[in-house]
Structure 1
Amino acid sequence: MHALDLLLCRLLNHANRREYVGRFFALISRLGDGVLWYALMLILPLLHGISGLLVSVHMGLTGLVCLIVYKWLKATTSRPRPFMVSESIVRRTPPLDEYSFPSGHTLHAVAFSLVLLSHLPEWFWVVIPFSVLVAASRPVLGLHYPSDVLAGAIIGAFIAGCSISLTPVPGGFP
């Protein structure tokens, strides 16, 4: 399994050798560090009033749970990043922390997107393409294995699903 994961990572990372591809995914990754999500949480109340504020709070609380789970998993698994294992993998940007599993960028992107869309589905065309690009950026930049990204997406979806199920009004706030 690890050999397949490393092979897929090498194939995806190969695109990073093109300067414009590497720069594009480095920008996406930087925005996925939280920049876009926190900006969105600040903008939602301006665009949607009190319901936007409630959505932002819901996203923030979900993000806090994601952060706790993500930090615990990183410390527990201690999986080295692909560029540390294979010299053929080119790292484009510095990692935010030491370990690879799971992809926190993907975990948060999926969780934030699902929470937002459970309340404001009209944001689909913004957050879904962005989340897919964030997920793709991780192996392209040499920072994560594809399995890290898949696990991050599954964990983020699970946490978001639990969070959404606790929302007082099914389908969103009034």
Structure 2
Amino acid sequence: MEQMEQSMAAASGEYLTFVLGKEEYGIDILKVQEIRGYEAPTTIANAPAFLKGVINLRGVIVPIIDLRIKFNLGEPTYDQFTVVIILNVANRIVGIVVDGVSDVIQLNSDTLRPAPDFSSTLDARYIIGLGTLDQRMIIVVDIEKLMTSQDMALVEEAAAS
């Protein structure tokens, strides 16, 4: 229990919140490089469905991950609110597609709770906890752990270890 409280205290900080479907998520603001409007990426043959393709960002080839597909949140739609959050994780630039960006919030150990144990029905490995702010419930995601996971295949084995 004490270790859980220490990890919650370590998770305190500023988070960029964004919307996927009906839920609101938060990621560490320090991992965010920029926010861009959605543009159709160049598709890559035989890539997993959640890897929409790549874009050229000022000379850097950036893989674009659609988190709605990765999290099985139904068929994604792309509209004027759809944005790409450009992240710097594990010394790699990656973009994630989300339905929209909300704001930047401060969460501390008083407003951040551990994620409940979902057993095998939900993969909670990437969830730091649940943040509450006024009437909002924010699912706080460890974006670095998610982006460097083996099933994402974005970071080479040598770089991940």
TM-score scaled by structure 2? 0.29
Tell me which protein shows more strand as a share of its residues.
Answer: 2
TM-score scaled by structure 1? 0.28
Q: Which has the higher contact order (CA 8 A, sep 6+)?
A: 1
Q: Which has the larger radius of gyration?
A: 1
Tell me which protein shows more helix as a share of its residues.
Answer: 1
